[in-house]
Amino acid sequence: MKTALMHLQKPGRKRKSTTFLNYNIMVGVGMLWLILFNIVPMIGIVMAFENYDPVKGFFRSDFIGLENFQYLFSMSDSRRVIVNTIIIAVSKLVLNVIVPLVFALLLNEIRKMKFKKIVQTVVYLPHFLSWVILASIFLELFSFRGAFNTIVSTFGVEPKIWFAEEKYFRQLVIFSDVWKEFGYNAVIYLAALTGVSQDLYEAAAIDGCSRLKAVWHITLPGIAPTIVVVAVLGLGNVLNAGFDQVFNLYSPLVYSTGDILDTWVYRMGLLNVQFSLATAAGLFKSAISFILIVVSYIIAYKAADYKIF
């Protein structure tokens, strides 16, 4: 009898050990990827504290302490790109909360499900297009002979290359980013709206409450924790103004208003070969972003009881 039981248990043990082995392999591959592409490259941080010489390498270049940071903050260019980064990133953060929220509320009021799904799919699609493609489209649309100039010229507006105009570049960058992402960001709010009890709307309708008042007194309070979490967690991206987008849209003509920290680091490091200065700027950005991420999670926990674990 004991022998029979042992034979019955062996296949289960084998499956369990195989599952455990597969799990370890999967975790091991992920950890290897993390170490090779995220941990090992961090050795390059030492360049921020050195007068880096590619011939000497990381560990034999002259150590100069915080001189790169002092020089960085003394440059007028660095102050300009930090201001540009904050303006563009904060504007994107605010509008990428408000616009998707308004769109989700409007879409939620549509009762024809087929039409609702079509609209949601159409506005969702731009999220999957890269900025390499979208930048070419926008630059063509807003070119001197583009469709936008053709339309506005009928109202007496003088044609111009809009993405080459300093005073319009930020607005166009912010508008194009919101247009690209609002359909995707609205999915979060649409998912939250499904959690609002329909009984509340029925009770409000019996009491004579209009749809607008129901949105204000039922819908918004019902998804308020989601709104708070999305808004607060976006604080960690205050210094991420969108390298892909700006890099593919800007030109030297708009550096004064369109140059951001990431594009400036790219030019200093790869084009001007000032590796130490570019690394110092990148490290400064990473340190501020890390602090903001920690603060945002603390605020999210206090305001909306949001927890990572």
What per-residue confidence (pLDDT) applies to 100?
92
Nearest Cα to 178, choosing from 89, 257, 249? 89
What per-residue confidence (pLDDT) applies to 13?
56
Q: What CA–CA distances, in Å, run from 27 to 32, 34, 133? A: 9, 10, 35
Full-model pTM: 0.82
Mapped onto helix, strand or coil, the DSSP state of residue 294 is helix
**Cα Rg for the chain, rounded, in angstroms?**
26
Structure tokens at 237: 């991206």
Transcribe 129-197 into DSSP letters. Answer: S-HHHHHHHHHHHTSTTSHHHHHHGGGTPPP--GGG-HHHHHHHHHHHHHHHHHHHHHHHHHHHHTTS-
Conformation bin of residue 199: beta by default, left when phi > 0, alpha when psi is -120 to 50 = alpha
**Could you tell me how far CA 167 lies from the centroid of its own chain?**
24
What per-residue confidence (pLDDT) applies to 306?
65
Q: Report whether 86 contacts 238 (CB < 8 A).
A: yes
Phi, psi of 252 (to 5 degrees): -55, -20
**209: Cβ contacts below 8 Å, ≥ 6 apart:** 217
Mapped onto helix, strand or coil, the DSSP state of residue 45 is helix
Reading the chain (309 residues) residue by residue, the pLDDT tens digits are 445 445 545 555 556 667 767 777 888 888 888 888 888 888 888 888 888 888 888 888 888 888 888 888 888 888 889 899 999 999 999 999 999 999 998 888 888 888 888 888 888 899 999 999 999 999 999 998 889 999 988 888 888 999 999 889 999 999 999 999 998 889 889 888 888 888 888 888 887 888 888 888 888 888 888 888 888 878 777 788 888 999 999 988 999 899 999 999 899 888 888 888 888 988 888 888 888 888 888 887 777 666 665
What per-residue confidence (pLDDT) applies to 8?
47
**Could you tell me how far CA 178 lies from the centroid of its own chain?**
11
Q: Report whether 280 contacts 72 (CB < 8 A).
A: yes
